[in-house]
Amino acid sequence: MNFDLTDEMNMLKDMAYKFAQKEFPPVSLEADREEHYTPEIFKKAAENGLVGAWIPEEYGGAGVGFLGLALITEQLSRVDMGLGLNIVAGSFGCEAIYFYGTEEQKKKWLVPVCAGEMVSAGAFTEPNAGTDAAGYRTRAVRDGNEWVINGQKMFITNGTVADFFVTQCITSPEQKKHNQFSQIVIPSDAKGITRTKIRGKMGIRASDTAEISFEDVRVPVENMVGKEGAGFYQLMHFFDTTRSMVAAQGLGLAEACLEASIRYARERTAFGQPLGNFQLTQAKLTEMAIRVESLRGLVYRTAWLMDEGRPDYTLSAMAKYWAGQTAVFAANAAVEIHGGYGYIDEYPVQKFYRDAKILELYEGTKEAEIMTIGRVLMSR
């Protein structure tokens, strides 16, 4: 059993971190304050092979697999999770196209995304249905050689900047609940689409989030991804796959919290000695470090197993759950260690605190992960 990363993966890890250190700090504060998406950084990232890096080279990606994606995500999130999300989620939704799409679809949509010429989005969540994916109500009705789509989507990452949406729709309402859905690619320039940017988010404010409305939107029938009626199962596979990326976000953010806290504990003095000399401070740092290392094992193993063709989706749910718990704990501890300075934007930990909470919410709430894991345990 070898826990060491290959030289290639270590180089990828270092490159991603150096890219983030160079490109993120000059725009991080303004992007957070103004809720500003950063297309220029996305394009630079694509030039460096960081966009859609998990996608095989034949479709324009770097071919580093899901472990490579986890490493990239971790390192970008160490610097700024929101800006990092713009890069790793630039191919969001492409997972469905890669696993279930035709060769023509893969070449049409994956290649330009990896090149930084397009941004993709997964249009899944709806105003009245999030975790309850079987409760989605967006409809697609076939009319000759076209699908006519009507409905609303909510909290869509890349919503106002995406060039196309992989959209979850009801296409077979006469079928049983889980067999009603299909996934359809909808170009963002199709007539009948209204995109409204969501402002006032607690965290990841540089990431674009939007509400999408489809009103009699028409797309060719060949834009369906995978089989008709298989959309629900494709979506579950999508979430199982992307949870390792979200878990890697939590890992990177928690690492950043720990690193910032150690620096501050060394520099700040209280009662005539460094803050880090006090056992209460050391206890917080120790707990953060233990959680980070346990999370690292879950994230790396989950991603590695997917690349090995032996995915463990229960482990993926565990990684996602523990990432949220770890990031929230670490961010809270970091603010406490920084004291009053942790509450102002002179130090980054207040932003870490705001960014962390989303990790317990998107790509499956922590409660949903508990249900997933619990069902498996009870079935043994």
Catalytic residues: 363
Residue 106, token pair as written in the block: 């893969």
E strands, 221-346, are 224-225, 269-270, 273-274
155 Cβ neighbours under 8 A, 6+ residues apart: 125, 130, 198, 209, 211, 362
Would you say 34 and 89 are in contact if contact means Cβ atoms under 8 Å apart?
no
| Distance of alpha carbon 280 from alpha carbon 63, whole angstroms | 45
3-state helix, strand, coil in the chain (%, to 5): 60, 15, 25
Yes or no: say if 41 and 23 are a contact pair by the CB < 8 Å rule: yes
Give me the residues paired with residue 166 across strands. Answer: 122, 185
Label the pairing between strands 209-220 and 224-225: unpaired
